[in-house]
Structure 1
Amino acid sequence: MEPRARLEPTAVWSLVTGLLALGPVALVLGVVALRRTASRHTRGRGIAIAGVVLGVVGTVALLAVVAAVVLTTLATRPLPTDVAEPRDARAQQLVTGSCVASIPEDGPVGSVRVVPCADPHEAQVVTLFAFAEDAVWPGQQAADARVARACVLDESEVTAGVRTVTWSPTEQSWADGDRVGLCLAVVDGGGVTGSFLDGSAELP
């Protein structure tokens, strides 16, 4: 009677790591196990194939998570104070000094067109209000009021027809970690060039 071939331990480990969602590890061990079962005439080819399958699935899932994290990071990374060229950005990326080509109608603000402040624009972020990171959602009206209190223009700007618009976190964006409210100086119709922050703003 011919003795039964030894079980390839690498195949077992590929399956175990695959079940533990260690995709890349399971994939590598599974490939190694397939080669060893062929060269050493050990058992476990089926187990190794299962490890490879789990490894592929786990690796794809891991790559998807990494890609999502990278894209989210890029989409929420603060902009420089004055961009070099026009670009679309999420409201959460705006910083004090950001110049906005035009502001959307009332309602949740998603993406806006940010332009160099030397280009004609309708609004500029002049103040940020940061809620505490551990703050409890205060309700939309209270959030709006807190941001509005930090949004003040000087008398000359008011006389020139500049008005303020406040963008505060919504309940949904708050749940996603948004804790910053924005105060924008707005000239209806646009055409402003320069910056309100350094006094170089020229109104149309």
Structure 2
Amino acid sequence: MHYAPGWVEPRARLEPTAVWSLVVALLGLGPVAVALAVVALRRTAARHTRGRGIALAGGVLGLVGTVALAVVGTAAVLTWRGTQPLPADLSAPRDAHAQQLVTGSCVQTLPADGSVGTVRVVPCADPHQAQVITEFLFAQDAVWPGQQAADARVARACVLDDTEVAAGVRTVTWAPTERSWADGDRVGLCLAFVDGQVTGSFLDGTVSQP
């Protein structure tokens, strides 16, 4: 074949799918970018088009984006699960955040005084130390009243009858903290307990010490 002076072979066409893989990756759609990058790499080999480097860049960024989406998604699911109220008739022991407890929840062991994080919640038929007997609901639009005032408001809703007092039942209250209030926590809890562990429920009078 004779090449005329000044003639150069035409440059291979740029594979559009490779460009799209990079664009989609930059838009944060990691899984789509990875899929487009795979298609682009196959097409550049089959069609002898350009864009392999662009496809590789799109694929790498897509993988990074996919991992980031997975991490964020997992964290969101765990956060959501950690704020959902427990069923009152729990069928098996489980750890839960204090904000998840509801009236009737039985707590295996009361934590030490101070900020309450995760507690072990058990079916009330199992041995336990305390049970949530009432809830105090702050208004959703209420302004943070301060820790002392929040504690006092929950305590005023935590009342035992004379029979319970005579039986040695005592109460402890858990109020929102300033930090949990900022996260939307508006529920205070009143828990009844006695020395040692009990089975049954304070709410229906079936509680007894083994």
In the superposition, relative to structure 1, how do residues 102 and 57 fare at CA in structure 2: closer, same or farther (>3 Å)? same
**Share of identical aligned residues, percent?**
77
Counterpart of 1:54 in structure 2 is 61
1:22 corresponds, among 25, 29, 40, to 29
Query: Does 2:208 align with 1:202?
Result: yes
Stretches of structure 2 that go unaligned for 5 or more consecutive residues are: 1-7
Distance in 1 (alpha carbons) for counterparts of 2:128 and 2:65: 48
Max Rg structure: 2
Aligned partner of residue 103 in structure 1, secondary structure: coil
Aligned partner of residue 31 in structure 1, secondary structure: helix
Alpha-carbon deviation of 1:91?
A: 1.2
Q: Which amino acid aligns with 1:198?
A: D
Query: Does 2:63 align with 1:95?
Result: no
Aligned partner of residue 139 in structure 2, secondary structure: coil
Aligned partner of residue 74 in structure 2, secondary structure: helix
Alpha-carbon deviation of 1:106?
A: 0.7
The alignment's TM-score, normalised by the length of structure 2, stands at 0.90
Provide the aligned C-alpha RMSD in A. 1.6
Equivalent residues in 2 for 1:33-48, closer than 5 Å: 33-48=40-55
The alignment's TM-score, normalised by the length of structure 1, stands at 0.92
Is the 1:121–1:192 contact (alpha carbons within 8 Å) kept by the matching residues of 2? yes
Alpha-carbon deviation of 1:193?
A: 1.9
Alpha-carbon deviation of 1:191?
A: 2.5
Distance in 1 (alpha carbons) for counterparts of 2:162 and 2:209: 15
Stretches of structure 1 that go unaligned for 5 or more consecutive residues are: none
Counterpart of 1:6 in structure 2 is 13
Q: Which amino acid aligns with 1:100?
A: V
Distance in 2 (alpha carbons) for counterparts of 1:61 and 1:113: 32
Query: Does 2:198 align with 1:192?
Result: yes
Distance in 1 (alpha carbons) for counterparts of 2:128 and 2:50: 71
Alpha-carbon deviation of 1:92?
A: 1.6
Q: For 1:30-85, what per-residue CA distance to the aligned partner results, in whole angstroms no more than 9, with x for missing partners?
A: 11111111111111111111100110000000001111112222333322213223
1:183 corresponds, among 181, 190, 205, to 190
Distance in 1 (alpha carbons) for counterparts of 2:167 and 2:107: 19
Query: Does 2:154 align with 1:147?
Result: yes
Counterpart of 1:109 in structure 2 is 116
**Greater mean alpha carbon deviation, residues 112-121 or residues 101-110:** 112-121
Distance in 2 (alpha carbons) for counterparts of 1:194 and 1:125: 13
